[in-house]
């Protein structure tokens, strides 16, 4: 059976040959290793180096994914901010686990982080909200994230109403807006190699110690 394609994808192929990844080169901590790769992506002027795909699953088992920006990376894990009433917020309320993935194509690298998700403390969300540009603060109040709109005009109207509501005064953090912490249980580092024989090294939390990690090489 011949399948007609509107766009011929058969000739699109990239050979990855920039670098390799060896166990001896890894930091014992996946957080420190991720910090290293993130810094190298930033130094390489990779576009949107903090962009990550966050995948969630709802109560019926339906997966969803979207791009968000990493805002904090520390010993706890990865933090991003969003509207708690969004689709991802509803998913995480029912199934508080997620997978985040980075793809730095210029460096031929991927990272996948899988683990549990929890809301960050309220004071942390408020502190980050105060650091945002004023128009982004207005947008957080105006957006009923993931809700259906009648058109762009409705959103523009709500934005103007929100701007008038706060005037020149301080804009507080919305009660339904804040941060989520992804606490890793598995972290995989992927370095592209020729002939699709990629290097894949996975960290898994040691069952005997919450501070220790087991590093294993996976088949490509």
Known binding residues for FMN are 66-71, 81-82, 88, 110, 145-146, 190, 200
Of the candidates 165, 167, 171, 104, the one whose C-alpha atom is nearest the C-alpha of residue 136 is 171
* Residue-wise burial string across 168-178, b where 16 or more C-beta atoms lie within 10 A, e elsewhere: eeebebbeebb
Of the candidates 169, 180, 30, 9, the one whose C-alpha atom is nearest the C-alpha of residue 98 is 180
18, 157, 196, 217: which one is catalytic?
196
Q: What are phi and psi of 158, to 5 degrees?
A: -65, -40
3-class secondary structure, 85: coil
Alpha helices in 55-151, H assignment, sequence order: 87-94, 122-131, 134-142
**196 included as an active-site residue:** yes
Rounded to the nearest 5 degrees, what angle is found at the Cα of 45, between the Cα atoms of 40 and 51?
A: 80
Residues assigned a catalytic role: 196
């Amino acid at each position: 059976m011949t399948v007609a394609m509107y766009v011929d994808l058969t000739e699109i192929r990239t050979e990855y040959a920039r670098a390799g990844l060896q166990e001896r080169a890894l930091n014992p901590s996946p957080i420190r290793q991720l910090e290293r790769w993130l810094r190298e992506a930033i130094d390489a002027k990779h576009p949107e180096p903090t962009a990550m795909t966050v995948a969630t699953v709802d109560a019926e088992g339906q997966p969803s994914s979207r791009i968000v920006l990493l805002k904090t990376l520390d010993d706890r894990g990865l933090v991003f901010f969003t509207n708690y009433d969004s689709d991802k917020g509803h998913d995480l309320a029912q199934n508080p686990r997620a997978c985040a993935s980075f793809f730095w194509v210029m460096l031929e690298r991927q990272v996948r982080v899988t683990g549990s998700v929890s809301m960050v403390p309220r004071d942390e969300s408020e502190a980050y909200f105060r650091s945002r540009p004023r128009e982004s603060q207005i947008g957080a109040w105006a957006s009923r994230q993931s809700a259906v709109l009648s058109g762009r005009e409705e959103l523009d109207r709500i934005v103007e109403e929100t701007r008038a509501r706060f005037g020149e005064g301080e804009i507080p953090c919305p009660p339904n807006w804040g941060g989520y912490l992804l606490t890793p249980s598995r972290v995989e580092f992927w370095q592209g190699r020729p002939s699709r024989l990629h290097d894949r090294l996975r960290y898994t939390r040691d069952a005997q110690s919450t501070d220790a990690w087991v590093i294993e090489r996976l088949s490509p």
